[in-house]
Amino acid sequence: MSTQQPTTSTDTAAKKGIGKVMAASAIGHFVEWFDFAVYAYAAPVIASLFFPEFDPASALLSTFAVYSVGFIARPVGAFLIGALGDRFGRKRVLAMVILLMGVSTTLIGLLPTYAVIGIFAPILLIVLRMLQGLSAAGETIGSNSFVAEHSPIATRGRNVGFVYTASNLPPVLAALLVLWLTAIMAPEAYHEWGWRVPFLLGAPLAIVGLYIRTRVDESPAYVEMRKSKAVESAPIRTVFATHWRAMLVVFAMSAVASLGYYSLTGYFYSYMTVTIGLSSDDALISNSIALLITFVIVPVSAAISDKIGRRKMLLIAIAFSAIVSLPAYFLVGTGTLWAAIVAQGLLGLALGLVFGPAGPAYVEMFPARVRYTGASISYNLAFTVFGGTAPLLATALIAMTGSNVSPAWYIAAVSVLALVVLFAMMPETKDRSMQHGADEQDFATTRP
């Protein structure tokens, strides 16, 4: 069955003002993920301030456990926010999620420590991380859907890739901000209050992002659904009944993307400083370079997928991820700055190659009326299972096995399993219309 759809009024409308839509989505995406990323770089300080009764290793594990809590809330948020996005529109929900993220991040920056309020400090930290997780659940798929539904088919991958790669800059800037703060402040001052500064930036950033998001038009696909009274009243029930195969495909590609992303942004800094013994400055520098590589590669690989297809590009990218994981961990284990740069650069390259085609493919797998719900649930479940546990599981694997490269075997295994799923079940999606109201076929039932 051909997946090519005729040009619709959506495509005509998509050519108008796409630059404004992309800019608004990318800026909002940046704000959302800056707020979420700063926790990882503050993890060593948070460990000592909120879990002071533990030894350093146990405190770090506890901090990463709280880091994972933000992901436990993501499936809940995916069900809730995904359904709201399909029922009430992408624009309204995207404004809501950035406001929620800004408030919760700012409150973390204002949170009293264990020394001030005792056990309530880690409890409140957990609550705020859960609110961050609820917000994060609706961001990526909402932004990707919003841009994809505004975009012409021929450049949809490139446009979504431009926005999707905005999630790679926040960890870089968060790392550089921490590097700057630790350079200009005495260690005691940074430990006492300096670590709060990145969190407190959440308030003004959220206000800017909220303003920008309210200045763009609603998605043409959603507008047409509303006009034709085709808005799905029970998107959760519908997506599980008729699109579960598509959800499995999105889950598989998201597993690789989430494990790669949160290994770099949520784990590697602490891994290099605590386990390998690299200096804090060297760890931040090498980590930032790796994420900058990812930032550059994502729109390039997305544009390539517009030409050769999402499926082919994803198979190549995930195979590369499986191959480079072990050499990268061996390299970083040598404990030098240049080895850390090369090692993380390889992981950043692999991540960028995956992110590029995955961004548009997430939302192309579903029809408009259940797109936000179906993609959000499968995407966030994978990010909870694989991304949210990446720092905690990697730390535990090293502790259990005594091998500093044991997390690499885990990355390789997940990548191979995802390859099997995508090779067997994923069709080509790059030419599918974002409207396709009449074509409700589950894409994953079509043989490649």
87 found inside a domain: yes
Q: Which long-range contacts (CB under 8 A, 24 or more apart) does 325-329 make?
A: 325/350, 325/408, 325/409, 325/411, 325/412, 325/415, 326/405, 326/408, 326/409, 326/412, 328/408, 329/404, 329/405, 329/407, 329/408
pLDDT of residue 244: 92
* Integer CA distances (angstroms), 151 to 17, 63, 358, in order: 10, 41, 16
The pLDDT value recorded for residue 304 is 97
- CA distances, 30 to each of 35, 125, 202, 348 (Å): 9, 23, 11, 18
pTM exceeding the 0.85 threshold for the entire prediction: no
Predicted pLDDT of residue 381: 94
Q: Is residue 430 part of a domain?
A: yes
Confirm whether 3 is domain-assigned.
Answer: no
275: nearest Cα among 224, 231, 325, 335: 335
Residue 4 lies in a domain: no
Smallest CA-to-CA distance from 163 within 68, 90, 84 is with 90
* pLDDT tens per residue across span 85-95: 999 989 889 98
Residue 226 within a domain: no
- Separation of alpha carbons 386 and 266, rounded Å: 12
SS3 assignment for 346-384? HHHHHHHHHHHHHHHHHHHCCCHHHHHHHHHHHHHHHHH
Q: Are 249 and 444 in contact (CB under 8 A)?
A: yes
The residue segments making up the domain with residue 205 are 13-219+232-445
Query: Is 306 within the bounds of a domain?
Result: yes
Q: Residue 216: its pLDDT value, please?
A: 86
Q: How far is CA 362 from the centre of its chain?
A: 12
Query: Is 303 among the domain residues?
Result: yes
Residue 3 tokens read as 């997946």
Enumerate residues 6+ apart whose C-beta is below 8 A from 383.
71, 74, 254, 258, 262
Reference 36, options 333, 359, 265, 271; nearest CA is 265
Q: What are phi and psi of 347, to 5 degrees?
A: -65, -40
| 250 touches 379 (CB < 8 A) | yes
Question: Is 397 a member of any domain?
Answer: yes
Distance CA 71, CA 382 (A): 10
Structural domains of the chain, count = 1
Give dist(CA 102, CA 252) in Å, integer. Answer: 30
List, for the chain, all residue ranges whose pLDDT scores fall below the cut of 50. 1-14, 437-440, 442, 444-445, 447
CATH number for the domain harbouring residue 120: 1.20.1250.20
